[in-house]
Homo-oligomer: A and B are copies of this chain.
């Protein structure tokens, strides 16, 4: 099944998140059957990344958004850990610093966009400016509401210089979030990660859903689409994200660059060097 087709938010469409089942696994029935598929995509992804790096004209930006425990870190660990770290990086956008706050909201984002040949993953992103900042009234409505247009223009700028953008909203249910909080409580190695705000933020669930629905309706474009990934099942989430990225990179028709040297000349140089080395070997 083509998960991109299934989970894309078509430009202009308004989705109701309540109508999308976070436990959906589409055509997949079990983790054990999905596992080899995911593994195969990850292998192809590594090869495609090599081509992207070699090609050096295009780049890929993957935006991950979702509520706490939605699985952003998990996608990074599972889908991107097999890529060559040379050419792949992760930008994690936490609370902005004082310097960052003294600039427009895209300033710190722009600095981390991928160079040609690179894959960059955003763990949270410029969308926080129309999500957490909206939900908690950190900026006035006329400011955040004008940001949708600013974001779209910014992403057009990136797309026009060769950056393919894929944006994933990792969709979980409030029950699943609570279950994941419970597991954190039971795992001592993760206690340091627990924060009171996890529970405070939960209370804003409906406001977040409304904010996300606006984001999806206003900023999913042909060059920079949103996908709503049912993410209650981590194994399905990983499979869907891996497939969508793989197929997108396949479609980029990345080519290895042409040889920029005269190969016959290089052959001659090789043989000359080889003869010298052999002669040196005989001398000793």
Chain B nearest Cβ from A168, distance in angstroms = 15
A274: nearest chain-B partner, CB-CB: B178
User: Within 8 Å CB of A260, what residues of B?
Assistant: 192, 195
From 250 to 268 in chain A, residues with beta carbon under 8 angstroms from any chain B beta carbon are 256-261, 263, 265-267
The dominant DSSP class at the A interface is: helix
A181: nearest chain-B partner, CB-CB: B270
A280: nearest chain-B partner, CB-CB: B174
Query: Given B191, B263, B274, which contacts A191 in the complex, CB threshold below 8 Å?
Result: B263
User: Within 8 Å CB of A281, what residues of B?
Assistant: 175
A190: nearest chain-B partner, CB-CB: B256
Contact B192 A259 (CB under 8 A): yes
Complex CA gap A203/B87 in Å reads: 30
Complex CA gap A193/B257 in Å reads: 9
Contact A277 B175 (CB under 8 A): yes
Binding-face segment, A28-36, A73-81, A217-225: A73-81
Query: Given B81, B196, B266, which contacts A194 in the complex, CB threshold below 8 Å?
Result: B266
Binding-face segment, A88-96, A100-108, A229-237: A88-96
Q: What are 6 inter-chain pairs, A to B, with CB distance below 8 A?
A: A89-B90, A181-B270, A191-B263, A192-B260, A194-B261, A199-B273
**Can you list the 6 inter-chain pairs with the closest CB atoms, starting with the nearest?**
A191-B259, A192-B257, A199-B269, A86-B90, A80-B85, A76-B86
